[in-house]
């Protein structure tokens, strides 16, 4: 079995496993106690904090260990907003942030706060100028991920951080996907990350709050972790997380070169091997191990099951939304095709032969899924007899509305239109994406008795 979903959780690093086992004997006691066992536990905790701080590029007393990356994000946003409540209640996030950030933004808005969601380019990257435009009097906090978890696009953190600094606004960086590859550059103010993303154990997150940032921890007061993370520290897991972070940083430069070559091979060969595919995300400014593509006329869930049967563990869209019937919020914000979406995220040490085997298996798997769904193989050559058609795809889920559109587009003359009736949320994204891929004109969305009508004009 080839595991290609490291963006969800990287396999436990050998150094993490060794550190975890070694610290079980010394790190079980309460590090707040003054007796021998407590002092031993405290030494382990302090050493782990120093190692993690060095890897992040911060002071040890600026870093707190949390129970997860999500908890670090929630605590960081809540604490920063509370600390700056006299300044205002305006929060800035990008539209492609991890769901933990967006859920915090939703909660803040529901409680009466103001939120600006900055849109992104088709590559998934924000424009620094768009963040500058969102910085207004009363802005308490801005958030920006260092790299996207679904498509791997790296964000201009340093430029945005500089703009925020000049405006006197702290910037919180979600560095979960990128921290294993190195430090986050720029004059950021807060940072959150998660150990299971770089090969550490699950259940350990990092929250960094720079000195001078106004921060008011929320919830009942607790003496642990500077009051920023309540509860007894899981010292063996923390030690393993810090040890593995140092280890992956030492290996990062060489491994990044190797994984970039493999993902570039996938980016180049998938469109050549499989027709009607869109590779998404920035082609240059991206993480080494992530490549994402979407296949027309394919149900992503079925495609994942078929690839699993073929021996490949991959993801479809966001790991936080793949079990729902709505399109990934990241792909939606980018305006790219969502149906048949596959995210390949290679773990360190991924085998070149496994990548080549994936490329050899993929065309047959996609073809098989398309055949089962009745996807078209070519545009109809029947002479067009009507100027407008209506396709009733109500009650039918992705990718059926697009498949039915593709079957009949050749039945109208150039300049003719097809109205697709659909109540599937994915159609709102996938029909315009299909038009762009196939050189047709997306006229727009119209209200209908049930669902919506998506109007397409044939151009060729």
Residues 6 or more apart whose Cβ sits within 8 Å of residue 129: none
Tokens 């021996």 appear where?
A: 311
Pairwise CA distance, residues 331 & 72, whole Å: 25
**Torsion sign over Cα 71, 77, 79, 82:** negative
Q: Rounded to an integer, what distance in angstroms lies between the CA atom of residue 375 and that of residue 299?
A: 11
What are 43's strand-pairing partners? none
Active-site positions read 320
The DSSP bridge pattern shows strands 441-447 and 452-457 to be antiparallel
182 Ramachandran zone, left/alpha/beta (phi>0; psi -120 to 50): left
| Alpha-carbon span 279 to 301, nearest angstrom | 18
Burial of 86 from C-beta contacts in 10 A (0-12 / 13-18 / 19+) = exposed
Residue 76 CA to residue 166 CA, distance in Å, equals 21
């Amino acid at each position: 079995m080839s595991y290609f979903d490291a963006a969800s959780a990287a396999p436990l690093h050998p150094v993490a496993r060794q550190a975890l086992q070694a610290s079980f004997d010394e790190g079980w006691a309460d590090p707040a106690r003054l007796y021998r066992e407590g002092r031993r536990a405290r030494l382990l905790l302090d050493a782990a904090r120093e190692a993690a701080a060095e890897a992040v590029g911060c002071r040890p007393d600026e870093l707190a260990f949390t129970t997860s990356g999500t908890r670090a994000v929630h605590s960081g946003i809540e604490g920063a907003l509370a600390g700056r409540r006299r300044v205002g209640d305006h929060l800035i996030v990008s539209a492609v942030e991890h769901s933990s950030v967006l859920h915090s933004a939703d909660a803040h808005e529901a409680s009466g706060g103001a939120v600006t969601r900055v849109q992104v380019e088709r590559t998934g990257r924000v424009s620094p100028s768009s963040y500058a435009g969102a910085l207004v009097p009363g802005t308490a906090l801005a958030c920006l991920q260092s790299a996207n978890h679904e498509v791997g696009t790296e964000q201009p953190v340093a430029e945005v951080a500089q703009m925020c600094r000049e405006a006197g606004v702290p910037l919180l960086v979600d560095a979960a996907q990128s921290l294993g590859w190195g430090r986050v550059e720029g004059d950021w103010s807060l940072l959150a990350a998660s150990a299971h993303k770089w090969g550490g154990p699950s259940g350990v997150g990092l929250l960094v709050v720079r000195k001078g940032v106004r921060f008011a921890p929320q919830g009942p007061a607790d003496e642990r972790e500077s009051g920023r993370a309540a509860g007894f520290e899981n010292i063996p897991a923390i030690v393993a997380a810090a040890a593995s972070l140092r280890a992956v940083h030492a290996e990062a430069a060489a491994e990044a070169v190797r994984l970039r070559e493999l993902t570039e091979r996938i980016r180049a060969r998938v469109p050549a091997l499989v027709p009607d595919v869109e590779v998404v995300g920035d082609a240059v400014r991206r993480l080494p191990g992530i490549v994402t593509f979407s296949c027309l006329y394919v149900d992503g869930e079925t495609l994942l099951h078929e690839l699993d049967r073929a021996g490949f563990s991959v993801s479809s869209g966001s790991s936080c939304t793949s079990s729902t019937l709505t399109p990934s919020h990241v792909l939606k914000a980018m305006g790219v095709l969502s149906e048949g979406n596959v995210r390949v995220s290679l773990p360190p040490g991924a085998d070149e032969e496994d990548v080549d085997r994936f490329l050899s298996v993929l065309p047959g798997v996609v073809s098989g899924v398309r055949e089962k769904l009745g996807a078209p193989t070519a545009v109809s050559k029947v002479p067009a007899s009507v100027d407008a058609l209506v396709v009733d795809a109500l009650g039918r889920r992705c990718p059926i509305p697009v498949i039915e559109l593709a079957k009949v587009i050749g039945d109208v003359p150039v300049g003719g239109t097809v109205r697709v009736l659909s109540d599937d949320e994915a159609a709102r994204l996938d029909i315009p994406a299909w038009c762009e891929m196939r050189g047709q004109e997306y006229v727009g969305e119209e209200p209908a008795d049930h669902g919506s009508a998506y109007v397409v004009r044939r151009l060729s």
